[in-house]
């Protein structure tokens, strides 16, 4: 990070990613407990497609009103089911949503810069798939065995094993994410074991950005 003047100050940017069901949220929550500023790209995406937003209107215009829940909001489960089966529709959704997420992420970076945070972390499930690694100084991937991820997703989303595996197919294979990352957290163990690994990562990372 630069400290030569107030205008060129830049916090260190950490991207946190991993396959669906890997436990990214658990890792991010633990980092927040450490006092780090952690932003969720999923939350930014939800804000971007909020009822009445430009992205919301474009999605409804393309997918039709059948994509809405009874309360008028997007039926995210139904939408996810569609894009796992249709690559063209997946790409269209990304073209609508991603630019809005990028804008919101830039705003978060700017807020962090103005606060003069030492660093900001962003949880991005599809970080490599969307080419967003270019926005970050370092990338941390949370890694978990495929069978464990399948069970977690089935339980979390109340979906079948087939649906869980189809969801995983639209993501980059985990081994590729690991190879592209600066740091990897193995989340196959117990929560306490993962916390020990996170403590080691935290000490290593903080030491790195202070040098």
Q: What is the DSSP track for 156-193? A: HHT--HHHHHHHHHTS--HHHHHHH-SEEEE-SS-HHH
- Residue with tokens 């100084």, as numbered in its chain: 137
Distance CA 43, CA 79 (A): 16
Whether the predicted pLDDT of 68 surpasses 70: yes
Distance CA 165, CA 84 (A): 10
Question: Quick one: angle between helices 24-33 and 191-210, nearest 10?
Answer: 60
Q: Domain spans of the chain?
A: 12-206
201 φ, ψ (degrees, to nearest 5) = -60, -45
Q: Among residues 204, 5, 13, which one has the least CA distance to residue 120? A: 13
pLDDT of residue 126: 87
Mean pLDDT confidence for 26-47 = 90
Indicate the class that CATH gives domain 12-206: alpha beta
CA angle, residues 164, 169, 173, in degrees to nearest 5: 115
Whether the predicted pLDDT of 166 surpasses 90: no
> Would you say 18 and 128 are in contact if contact means Cβ atoms under 8 Å apart?
no
Whether the predicted pLDDT of 59 surpasses 90: yes
pLDDT of residue 34: 87
Whether the predicted pLDDT of 193 surpasses 90: yes
pLDDT single digits (tens) 116-164: 988 999 999 889 988 889 999 999 999 999 998 999 889 988 889 998 8
Whether the predicted pLDDT of 82 surpasses 80: yes
Give Cα 62 to chain centroid, integer Å.
25
Whether the predicted pLDDT of 94 surpasses 70: yes
- How many residues are given for the chain? 211
Q: What is the pTM of this model?
A: 0.83
Mean pLDDT confidence for 9-32 = 91
CA distances from 34 to 22, 139, 140, 199, 207 (A): 20, 18, 16, 9, 14
Distance CA 13, CA 29 (A): 17
CA distances from 54 to 80, 99, 191 (A): 20, 11, 40
């Amino acid at each position: 990070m630069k400290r030569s003047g107030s205008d060129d100050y830049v916090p260190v940017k950490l991207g946190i990613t991993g396959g669906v069901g890997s436990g990214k949220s658990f890792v991010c929550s633990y980092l927040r407990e450490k006092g780090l500023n952690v932003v969720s790209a999923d939350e930014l995406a939800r804000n971007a497609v909020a009822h009445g937003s430009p992205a919301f209107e474009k999605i409804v215009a393309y997918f039709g009103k059948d994509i809405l829940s009874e309360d008028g909001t997007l039926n995210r489960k139904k939408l996810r089911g569609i894009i796992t089966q249709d690559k063209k529709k997946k790409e269209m959704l990304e073209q609508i949503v991603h630019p809005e997420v990028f804008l919101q992420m830039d705003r978060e970076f700017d807020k962090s810069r103005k606060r003069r945070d030492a660093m900001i972390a962003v949880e991005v499930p599809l970080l490599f798939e969307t080419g967003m690694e270019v926005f970050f100084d370092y990338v941390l991937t949370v890694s978990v065995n495929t069978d464990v991820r399948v069970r977690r997703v089935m339980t979390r989303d109340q979906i079948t094993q087939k649906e869980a595996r189809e969801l995983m197919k639209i993501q980059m294979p985990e081994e590729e994410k690991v190879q592209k990352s600066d740091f990897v957290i193995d989340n196959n163990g117990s929560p306490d074991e993962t916390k020990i690994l996170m403590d080691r990562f935290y000490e290593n990372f903080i030491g790195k950005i202070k040098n």
